[in-house]
Amino acid sequence: MLQTIIDPQSVSQFAAWVEQYQKFVILGHTSPDGDAVGSTLALYHYLQSKGKQAQVVMPNVFPDFLKWLPGSDSVIFYRNASRSRKNVERVEQVIREAEVICCLDFNELSRIDEVGALVEQADAKILLLDHHLNPGDFADLTISFPTQSSTCELLFRFLYDLGHYEEMTVTEAACIYTGMMTDTGGFTFNSTRGEIFYIVGLLLDKGINKDVIYRKVNNSYTAARLHLQGEVLSRMTYLPKYHTAILELSKEQQERQDYHRGDSEGFVNLPLGIKDVIFTCFLREDTERDQVKLSFRSIGDFPSQEVAKRFGGGGHLNASGAERPQTTIAQVKKEFIKVLADFKEQLDEACKAEQRVSFKLSKR
Ligand code: 5GP
Ligand code: MN
């Protein structure tokens, strides 16, 4: 049996909304990842199966390797490559007309950029279902569990509690599995609770093909992406003293190499393949805004989000990020190396812990 973690009152509250209302908008965060796209689409399919009008809205486009997900054709992007006014107007309209707005995989309206203001003005019931720390106080119904591997895991529990498991389709199961897989790096971090694998078992029983999903997500790169990866790796800054590596991607590189949004997804993890590297930072000049985007990943107990906070960002223990407006990669890199000095002891400690194999094998 799956343990109940969500308050039954929250579940019946949402069930009552599904009973009462017709028009649902489902929102994921800016630069949607597998968890954001998987969870929003799974909820979309669920609501459609209940005969509801459901519309997924994203602040901007998601990477090509998620486009195979069933239903992704129906998503409206507030900002798309051509910055069409038509999309903006459609998003304004569906949010204005929504009776229920479901916010998935983000904790604050600031994580959905301009769409946040539309939600604030909307005359709709708001659901927040998320696994990030510190949920904002903007929803009528908040279901927040930072202990969850992914929003998709939490959404699975929610649908299960709604009594939907029997009727869950393989399509919904595939969307949920995708988010669980991507947010845990293929179940290599943030996934020590046995129940995660119990849920995976329940999804497999629905008929999903986990190997195909893995390949769709991980083996669908363009040659341009691999060239870019080679270039970025060849310019890596390795700081053995801090068990840290830094990767950089300039605007110029992105333009020259025919960069598509999402082409650098996952780069941040690559230096973790170096023995004794436990912390990585990926600096990317944004092509859409005048800012540098910072991504952090860590191994073990090293709190990457504490470093992210020093740059005005946040996130989880092992994955976090920040944005720095009106600056350069070189400047941010300099600041980052300075900040690392403050974390030297923690970095050493986390590296040592990683080297203690017996500890590593037993620890949750
Ligand atoms: P990524 O490196 O994939 O862009 O982000 C990893 C995680 O860091 C996200 O899931 C999110 O929790 C957090 N994150 C990324 N960028 C930001 C940011 O600018 N501000 C905050 N508060 N968190 C961020
Ligand atoms: Mn997530």
Question: Tens of pLDDT along 296-328?
Answer: 999 989 999 999 999 999 988 988 999 999 999
Residue nearest atom 19 in ligand 1 by C-alpha distance: 322
169 pLDDT higher than 70: yes
d(CA 242, CA 326): 27
d(CA 68, CA 81): 19
Cα(66) to centroid(ligand 2), Å: 14
32 Cβ below 6 A of ligand 1: no
320 Cβ below 6 A of ligand 1: yes
- Contact assessment for residue 105 and residue 131, using Cβ atoms and an 8 Å cutoff: yes
Q: What pLDDT does residue 360 have?
A: 55
272: DSSP letter: G
**SS3 assignment, position 60:** strand
**SS3 assignment, position 263:** coil
2: DSSP letter: P
Count CB atoms within 10 A of the CB of residue 15: 14
292 Cβ below 6 A of ligand 1: no
Confidence of residue 221 (pLDDT cuts 50, 70, 90): confident
Q: What pLDDT does residue 263 have?
A: 77
- Contact assessment for residue 320 and residue 190, using Cβ atoms and an 8 Å cutoff: no
Helix, strand, coil share of the chain (percent; to 5): 45, 20, 35
4: DSSP letter: P
| pLDDT (average), residues 123-150 | 97
Higher per-residue confidence, 361 vs 204:
204
Residues 295, 300, 302: CA angle, nearest 5 degrees: 60
Q: In which element (H, E) is residue 94 found?
A: helix 85-97
262 pLDDT higher than 70: no
Region of poorest pLDDT, from 1-5, 14-18, 20-24: 1-5
363 pLDDT higher than 80: no
Higher per-residue confidence, 73 vs 221:
73
Q: What is the CATH number of domain 8-217?
A: 3.90.1640.10
- Closest atom of ligand 1 relative to the 316 alpha carbon: 12
Ligand nearest to the CA of 134: 1
CA-based nearest residue to 321, from 343, 334, 336: 336
225 pLDDT higher than 90: no
Q: What pLDDT does residue 161 have?
A: 98
- What's the length of the chain? 364
Q: Assign domain 223-354 to a CATH class.
A: alpha beta
Q: What are phi and psi of 61, to 5 degrees?
A: -75, 160
Domains in the chain: boundaries: 8-217, 223-354
Spatial CB neighbours of 166, under 8 Å, sequence gap ≥ 6:
none
**Averaged pLDDT of the chain:** 94
Q: What pLDDT does residue 254 have?
A: 87
Residues 326, 328, 331: CA angle, nearest 5 degrees: 115
82 pLDDT higher than 80: no
358 pLDDT higher than 60: no
Which two structure tokens, joined as six digits, stand for 259?
């960069």
- Contact assessment for residue 298 and residue 282, using Cβ atoms and an 8 Å cutoff: no
Residue nearest atom 6 in ligand 1 by C-alpha distance: 320
Q: What pLDDT does residue 261 have?
A: 63
Ligand nearest to the CA of 284: 1
132: DSSP letter: S
